[in-house]
Chains A and B, each alone.
Chain A
Amino acid sequence: MPDLADVYRAMGTLLPFEFLQPRFMRQSLLGLLLLSPMTAAMGVQVVNLRMAFFSDAISHSAFAGVALGLTLAVNPRFSAIVLALLIGLGVTFCHRRIRLSGDSVIGVFFSGVVAAGLAAASRDRAIARSVQAFLYGDILTIGDSEIFVLAAALPITLAFQYFAYNRMLYLGLDPVLAGAHGVKVGAWQYIFAGLLSFTAIFSVWSVGVFLVTAMLVVPAAAARNLAASAGGMFWWALLISLSSSVAGLAVSAQDWAGTATGATIVLAALIWFGLSLLPILLRGARKHA
């Protein structure tokens, strides 16, 4: 595995901020700079396709995934990814094949993974401790191996966004219309579900199970309010996600704050969301004037 020491040294030189002096902070920043564009871009589709509940179910599958890994004596991060992928594809399969609403299908899977995770945690204290670490996440403990995984996942996500952005938007508008006009609806739904499952599990590492959906949804929802076009929504989401991550990391490192990094990142994104409501309120006021 290549050594990232030179990268961290360069970051220290280019970004001479006090909070970035410890190496683990530079590691965290690098991790966030890789993760944030992924969650921002995938979040645009989560918002447009109304799939917030889906990403919630995937992030909660981390419970069962970690428990499964510890029970089978395999790396829990690996088992969490595999289970998340299976859940994501399973939900998509059932939604397409069973005449049951999407929410109901996701609800069934959601209940299943949470119940399985809790059952395993209640049976074994060691599993309970490991599962707890995934509840809150901690970007400050991110290691080089995770950074390499993120560095590999980012170009894949961006390639997906290049080829699928228009198609996913079409699909969100009307799947029948999209299909009639040449979009391979099923294939893109499965690819999206798989990639979103990966992104959600990567986010669990940094912000924890509880805040994954916020990491995906809040920047994209704010972007939707601020953008004048669907193309602009993508760039707004990137800007909001990246700036919230950097601001959240910087603020959480201050002595006066002393807050968890993941939660602070989400709070920073929520400030963006609050600001994004202003143009909507102004437009509404002008309409009623």
Chain B
Amino acid sequence: MNPPDIVNATVTFSNVTVVLDRNLILDRVTAVIPRGGCTAVVGPNGAGKTTLLLAMLGYVPHRGEIGFPGRRGAPRFGYVPQRLDFDRELPLTAGEFIRLGESRSPLWLRAGKGERARIERTLSLVNLEYCRDRRIGDLSGGELQRLLLAAALERKPEVLLLDEAVSATDPVNRNELIRLLERFRREMGFAQVMISHDLATVLALADHLICLDRKVLAAGTPEALDASGDLAAFFPGISLAEPKARSESA
């Protein structure tokens, strides 16, 4: 495994170890998230992928160091969880959801003209203008994922974290999300970190892979991991030279 290139990194993990309830979840993880790129963290269930994201967000106590080169504190994160477990009868509209994060005035006061325009603009980024006054509990799974993405983008993130956010949707919504994510990363320049089980999504978006199973087993570009055979070890029978086989397998 090549040593991580920390010069172009936006996040660095140095010997990060997480132990929860005496269970070793992450074991001396050393890796980098390249600036402006799309990193996919892949691995089997229980490999510690979500824990790695939560450690980055400061939610999980850890040993070792998580660094953000070139800045004092943590970068501005945008986070899209796999799903939102909430009471579907909650009278919270999609427009209000966008207001939750960034608005300075409470929802019980009417949004100003500028704020209403901002909400419209944000919803239109993910093609959800028609959902502004609909309760979030009435949205479909795909619409809700796009709304979560819109809320994350509203923060103008420096690092966008996606926890199985793309692969949790149906194929039509998945393709739309992939298209939107590619566009936004190009336009906004954030580093993207995604957890995914879905090889098609990983290969469509990622230019850097971290293969994790409690510890980093391999990391690098998809092409480099394909050449070294590490990609095939994680996704048996897959080669980048056979795109058809890839998508069928996914």
Contacts and interface: CB of A to CB of B under 8 A. Distances in A.
B93 A230 contact: yes
Contact of A230 (B81, B85, B91, B110): B91
Contacts of A224: 89-91
Question: How many of chain A's residues touch chain B, expressed as a range?
Answer: 20 to 34
A229 interface: yes
Interface stretch (A13-21, A103-111, A142-150, A164-172): A164-172
Given A170-B101, A229-B93, A233-B91, A181 B152 contact: yes
Contacts of A231: 96, 106-110
A48 B92 CA distance: 11
Contact of B100 (A161, A166, A229, A235): A166
A174 B81 contact: yes
Interface string A173-186: 11011011110000
B78 interface: yes
B77 interface: yes
Contacts of B58: 179
A229 B59 contact: no
B84 interface: yes
A229 B107 contact: yes
B248 interface: no
The CB with the most chain A CB atoms within 10 A, among B21, B89, B90, is that of B90
Interface in A209-240: 224, 227-235
Question: How many of chain B's residues touch chain A, expressed as a range?
Answer: 35 or more
A180 B54 CA distance: 9
Contacts of A48: 90
Interface string A64-108: 000000000000000000000000000000000001000000000
Given A180-B57, A224-B91, A230-B96, A166 B81 contact: no
B79 interface: yes
Interface string B80-104: 0100111001111100100111010
Contacts of A256: none
B124 to A, nearest CB: 20
Given A174-B81, A230-B107, A182 B101 contact: yes
B123 interface: no
B79 A181 contact: yes
B166 interface: no
A253 B103 CA distance: 45
Nearest to A226: B91
A217 B243 CA distance: 57
Contacts of B148: 177
A229 B109 CA distance: 12
The CB with the most chain A CB atoms within 10 A, among B76, B93, B108, B133, is that of B108
A180 B161 contact: yes
B155 interface: yes
Contacts of B33: none
B90 A230 contact: yes
Nearest to A163: B106
B194 interface: no
Contacts of B84: 173-174, 177
Nearest to A99: B21
Contact of A170 (B78, B81, B100): B100
Closest 7 CB pairs of A and B: A180-B79, A234-B108, A165-B106, A231-B107, A230-B92, A231-B108, A227-B91
Interface of A: 48, 99, 161-163, 165-167, 169-170, 172-174, 176-177, 179-182, 224, 227-235
Given A165-B106, A170-B100, 8 more contacts: A162-B106, A166-B107, A169-B107, A177-B81, A181-B77, A181-B101, A230-B107, A235-B108
9 contacts: A166-B100, A170-B101, A172-B86, A174-B81, A227-B91, A228-B133, A229-B92, A231-B106, A231-B109
